Structure 1
Amino acid sequence: MALRSTVFKAEVGIADLDRQYYADHALTLARHPSETDERLMVRLLAFVLNASESLEFGRGISTDDEPALWDRDLTGAIRTWIEVGQPDERILRRACGRSDRVLLYVYGRAQDIWWRQNESALRALPKLEVWRISPQDCAALTALAERGMQLQCTIQDGAVIVAAESDTVQIEPERLNPEP
């Protein structure tokens, strides 16, 4: 019998002072059996950093032709394609061909090695923004993971403060490829 996804519910209040976006979102996240809490929380962080009324989660880790998150217009055209982790450069190249903007949130122990191996190819993709989430920030964020979460997120000057019932953490994504 196949393992089933674990469902996480998150009530997320977002105050994005950088983009002047303020909203509450009731999110349902399905964690694939092969997905870690760390990846789930980075997906949630990516949502918080790019929140809009049309941003939605993709079908998941087992679907190659969909991102972790995407923002589509009313015609179905992809405005923003968001990946998390350390994907193959070909996936990001294909995403750049299908959308107006591509964001990648890199995390994990081998992220520095992955970046050195892929940096030159990824710098050649003008629509791509690569953001690094440090292992310390990921660990702090992952510690907040619960099947039922209530989070208040404040974004100011690129830093994210995530307040949960149990703790408050500050995440500071670092842009790896400079703006064009």
Structure 2
Amino acid sequence: MYAMGDANHLGIEFGYLDGTLYEPGLYLDDVNGKSYKVSVPIPQFVMDDVNTLYCRFGGCVAVTNDNELFTWGVTLAAGVENGSLWQIMYGYKPLKREVIGNLTKFDGGKESIIYWNDEGKAFGVGWNNHFKYDPKGKAPLVVNWPGVELKFVTDEMKKVYGEDFVPGQ
């Protein structure tokens, strides 16, 4: 898999502010035939063996053909000396993440990643704002890998689809 853009979004080691890698010296012609020099992003290798890819503003999640989950993306935020919450969810390069059980699928949202295993359990990683990972307010505000179980989600799904339903499959 290759990507173009700001290096801190691509999972390559290259700073975090204005780190786009460009190909210098490319000449194009405008509509009048006049040549001008432009800089275009250079595709950068990120990783191989990708089966499923999900990218959002701050980073990406990939599942390999061997069903391993990797994340990468923004790990520092401009003006924040100690980084940001994105350090929890992503990595400055593709990082293999430990998941609980055998991964069957994943979902993403703003500053959150949810994954499902073959036992029908869901787990959340990232920012637990508004108690989205725990309606009783017992989970921490920041949830690191391998995540916190979202039992209330699977309980509600079973109410709708029946007790024999296995969420995430």
- The TM-score with structure 1 as length reference comes to 0.27
* Bigger radius of gyration among the two: 2
Higher helix proportion? 1
